[in-house]
Structure 1
Amino acid sequence: MTSESFGGQEKEFLSFTLGDEHYAVDIMQVQEIRGWEKATKIANAPDFIKGVINLRGDIVPVVDLRIKFNVGKPVYNEFTIVIVLQIRQRVVGIVVDSVSDVIRLTPDMIRPAPEFGVAFDSRYLKGLSNVEDHMVILVDIDELITSKELALFDQADNKSIDH
């Protein structure tokens, strides 16, 4: 990660856990954090797409990152967390085990992502950072959510494929 991607300044990330691993996303993409609510299933969707929820009139797809990255054991109860994100003028929810903290990082605190050793493809990583006593994986959530692999958004115009 280069200092240009931060404008050379400190940036804030929301950290969360999937299993025993610590991850973080750019806090500017976080719309809200909410508890689990049962999603309406979508026929023939992959297991990691839990369905859609109605969020104040918006139909929001929900992706369980624990299943997508094969990390931890997915449990849905009053402790399950959904982070609602704004990605390219669309809203999407990601299911995580817990939300940890807001962390502040400068470009020199972030190391390039390795090509191996983490639960998912490194093209979805912004980098790694050592925070307190653990490594935090910085997720390029924009790249992941708009990927052909998830197929939540049409690549051409960033509209939901369900139109």
Structure 2
Amino acid sequence: MLGDLDLLMGDETQELQEIEAPEGELFLKFKVSTGEQFALPAVSVVEVMSIGPEKITPMPNVAPVLLGTLNLRGEIIWVADLGQFLGISPPLNVDRTELPVVAIMEQQDLLMGLAVDLIVGMEWLKTESVRPALTAPEAMAPFLRGEWMVAETGLTLPLLDQSAILRSNRWG
């Protein structure tokens, strides 16, 4: 009869594979309607959801970048069009069955949903490779932590600052 240890160890001739610890910080990558890609620190992301646009309740007399409110497990949060907020894209096409929304939070008191065009995925980025955002449009610069140079493609990935977005006076 084989013991539990025998089952776990398998053939004694097999070498144990060492798991590499990821380097850097984990980021969520996504695209806005222009196709431009951005990233947010994963620690600031509360939830990533795909919702029907009909679940966002439009509100009158608010900034045009605000799509409305959403009930997130009993808490009402504002949902904004991130591309339009950053001033780089036309209004997001909400005439579709599912709309990706990234819920971000700062210090347990500010919570907001950012509607994007496409969720790309998660990636570990080496924070020492982040440099100041040199190519960003002036209107977007206050909302960037910097940019990461993607070695494989030579392109840059702008890294957003969730605190600056949440505390912006553009919501007025």
SS of residue matched to 2:46 = strand
Q: Distance in 2 between matches of 1:113 and 1:33?
A: 25
Q: Is 1:123 matched up with 2:137?
A: no
1:50 to 67, 87, 96: 67
For residue 27 of structure 1, what is the aligned residue in structure 2? 42
SS of residue matched to 1:144 = helix
Alpha-carbon offset, residue 65 of structure 1? 0.9
Judged with a 3 Å threshold, the aligned counterparts in structure 2 of structure 1 residues 119 and 71 are, in CA distance, closer, same or farther, namely: farther
Q: Is 1:16 matched up with 2:33?
A: no
SS of residue matched to 1:35 = strand
SS of residue matched to 1:70 = coil
1:87 to 97, 106, 109: 106
Which structure: larger Rg? Answer: 2
Runs of 4+ in 1 over 6 A off after TM superposition: none
- Which range is displaced more, 61-70 or 136-145? 61-70
For residue 129 of structure 2, what is the aligned residue in structure 1? 109
**One-letter amino acid of the structure 2 residue matched with residue 70 of structure 1:** I
**One-letter amino acid of the structure 1 residue matched with residue 93 of structure 2:** V
For residue 40 of structure 1, what is the aligned residue in structure 2? 57
Q: Is 1:135 matched up with 2:156?
A: yes
Alpha-carbon offset, residue 78 of structure 1? 2.5
Judged with a 3 Å threshold, the aligned counterparts in structure 2 of structure 1 residues 139 and 42 are, in CA distance, closer, same or farther, namely: same
Q: Distance in 1 between matches of 2:165 and 2:104?
A: 12
For residue 88 of structure 2, what is the aligned residue in structure 1? 70
For residues 14-57 of structure 1, what are the alpha-carbon distances to aligned partners after superposition, in whole Å with 9 as ceiling and x for unaligned? 01111221100010111111113331122211111011111111
SS of residue matched to 1:43 = coil
Alpha-carbon offset, residue 120 of structure 1? 3.4
SS of residue matched to 1:149 = helix
Q: Is 1:99 matched up with 2:119?
A: yes
Q: Distance in 2 between matches of 1:72 and 1:47?
A: 11
- TM-score scaled by structure 1? 0.78
C-alpha contact (below 8 Å) 2:81/2:91 kept by paired residues: no
Judged with a 3 Å threshold, the aligned counterparts in structure 2 of structure 1 residues 93 and 119 are, in CA distance, closer, same or farther, namely: farther
